[in-house]
């Protein structure tokens, strides 16, 4: 195939704001592809991901009956794909010098590598092992013990406990309340047959994305995809999540552990709806302006010794679940919660400080532009864009022109103190 024929298959986006160029295409197999060449870079980074995570545990295919699979199976499947009949993918990567990894989240699983040399060999390994599952009773059983130990390790972690407890306090039915890895009991139900069923359901090219960034040639990447991506019969997946009544289950949950200071997470549950890129950017900006290190609130709480530099705010956006979160360590989480409540009510009355909003907006804009200085960040953002219909370039433009008036309106919507939960992990009375 001539070079012009290959390049004609791309939709090329040349962004005037950031100065970046991204090549988009949908491969004939159905895989969505995005490539951001950065010839001046020394490294290349690639991700091969599927829109399949721990919350996808109840589904139907092509209009069939719904299947409920054991919790943690998406994570289990991620572990098992690295092994095949001959040798593990990590052993193959080691021969190229590439650094490889993978992760499973609530709503996606991604396999990735970065390298400075031998990109084509490493890229070939990525596309090969993800498309060649190999499960036997023996290998699945062997992995069960490894993952069970991993689950127990997380359950002993105060940082995991405080978040997991918050999800249980906020959500009655939604699978976000279940750890990504499942439980020791749930993974005991996983079989090779179930792994193959989930693989063939969710590792379908129509459900997958491939992103590449750094020192790469888009034409050559697409040629390799033509050689290595395997066509499969396409099908329709319907995911089902339990309906949630919108109210938190309990407003306070506590656990004892050996920690020097109490850990806390405070969540504000929101009515779920799909939010725009502009709203995502606004949320981050006003969190920084109202609660971040530049804010008056942060300064007051530091002076009162209710927080330390680890204090922060974030958001949760998943299918069927949406929340604003605060986390950190505090000598008195309950007092800090009340202070946060008071600040929320004050900002709702008086509005966000325009000066601090502008400072936070400029910082956000700078961060959106400079993310293109890192191949890892580029590929990861493009992965989310392709998988969930977001748009990093739209987000960058939003950061350039959002207003404090928009932020005030969204702030009032996202923080309902009557629908919040506080999770605390603190040292027991006897120090246990």
Q: Which residue has the tokens 């709503």?
A: 107
Q: What's the rounded Cα separation, in Å, for the pair 91 and 233?
A: 31
Q: What's the rounded Cα separation, in Å, for the pair 231 and 225?
A: 11
**Domain chopping of the chain, boundaries:** 3-239, 252-426
Measured torsion, CA atoms of residues 151, 156, 162, 168, in degrees rounded to the nearest 10: 50
Per-residue pLDDT tens over the stretch 262-299: 999 999 999 887 888 999 999 999 999 999 999 999 99
Percent of the chain with pLDDT over 90: 89
Our answer to whether residue 405 is catalytic in this structure is no
Per-residue pLDDT tens over the stretch 223-261: 999 999 999 998 999 998 776 778 999 999 999 999 999
pLDDT of residue 275: 83
pLDDT of residue 236: 94
- For the cut 70, the answer to whether the pLDDT of residue 4 exceeds it is no
Contacts of 97 (CB under 8 A, 6+ apart): 115, 116, 117, 118
Which of 78, 279, 339, 343 is flagged as catalytic?
A: 78
Q: How far is CA 388 from CA 106, 318, 432, in A?
A: 13, 10, 43
Fold of the domain spanning 3-239 = Cytochrome Bc1 Complex; Chain A, domain 1 (3.30.830)
Percent of the chain with pLDDT over 70: 97
The CATH architecture of the domain made up of 252-426 is 2-Layer Sandwich (3.30)
Per-residue pLDDT tens over the stretch 318-367: 988 999 999 999 999 999 999 999 999 999 999 999 999 999 999 999 99
pLDDT of residue 353: 97
Per-residue pLDDT tens over the stretch 413-423: 999 999 999 99
């Amino acid at each position: 195939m001539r070079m012009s024929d290959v390049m004609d298959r791309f939709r090329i986006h040349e962004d005037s704001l950031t100065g970046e160029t991204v090549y988009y295409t949908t491969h004939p197999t159905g895989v969505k592809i995005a490539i951001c060449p950065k010839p001046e870079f020394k490294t290349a980074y690639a991700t091969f991901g599927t829109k399949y995570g721990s919350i996808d545990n109840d589904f139907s295919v092509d209009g069939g009956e719904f299947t409920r699979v054991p919790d943690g199976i998406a994570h289990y499947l991620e572990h098992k794909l690295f092994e095949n009949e001959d040798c593990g993918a990590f052993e193959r990567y080691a021969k190229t010098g590439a650094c490889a990894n993978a992760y499973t989240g609530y709503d996606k699983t991604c396999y990735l590598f970065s390298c400075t040399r031998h990109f084509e060999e490493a890229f070939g390994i990525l596309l090969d092992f993800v498309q060649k599952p190999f499960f036997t009773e023996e290998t699945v059983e062997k992995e069960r013990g490894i993952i069970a130990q991993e689950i127990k390790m997380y359950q002993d972690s105060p940082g995991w406990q405080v978040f997991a407890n918050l999800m249980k306090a906020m959500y009655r039915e939604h699978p976000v309340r279940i750890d990504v890895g499942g439980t020791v009991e749930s993974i005991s139900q996983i079989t090779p047959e179930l792994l193959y069923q989930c693989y063939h359901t969710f590792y379908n090219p129509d459900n997958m994305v491939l992103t590449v960034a750094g020192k790469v040639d888009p034409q050559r990447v697409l040629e390799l995809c033509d050689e290595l991506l395997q066509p499969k019969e396409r099908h329709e997946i319907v995911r089902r999540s339990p309906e949630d009544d919108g109210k938190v289950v309990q407003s306070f949950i506590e656990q004892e552990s050996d920690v020097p200071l109490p850990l806390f997470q405070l969540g504000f549950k929101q009515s779920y709806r799909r939010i725009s890129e502009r709203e995502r950017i606004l949320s981050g900006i006003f969190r920084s302006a109202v609660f971040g290190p530049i804010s008056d609130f942060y300064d007051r709480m530091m002076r009162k010794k209710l927080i330390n530099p680890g204090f922060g705010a974030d958001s949760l956006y998943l299918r069927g679940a949406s929340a604003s979160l605060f986390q950190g360590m505090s000598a008195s989480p309950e007092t800090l919660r009340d202070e946060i409540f008071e600040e929320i009510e004050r900002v709702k009355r008086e509005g966000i400080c325009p000066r601090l909003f502008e400072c936070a907006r400029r910082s956000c804009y700078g961060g959106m532009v400079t993310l293109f200085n890192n191949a890892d960040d580029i590929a990861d953002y493009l992965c989310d864009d392709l998988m969930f219909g977001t748009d990093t370039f739209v987000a960058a433009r939003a950061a350039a022109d959002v207003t404090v008036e928009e932020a005030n309106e969204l702030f009032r919507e996202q923080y309902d103190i009557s629908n919040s939960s506080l999770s605390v992990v603190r040292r027991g009375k006897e120090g246990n």
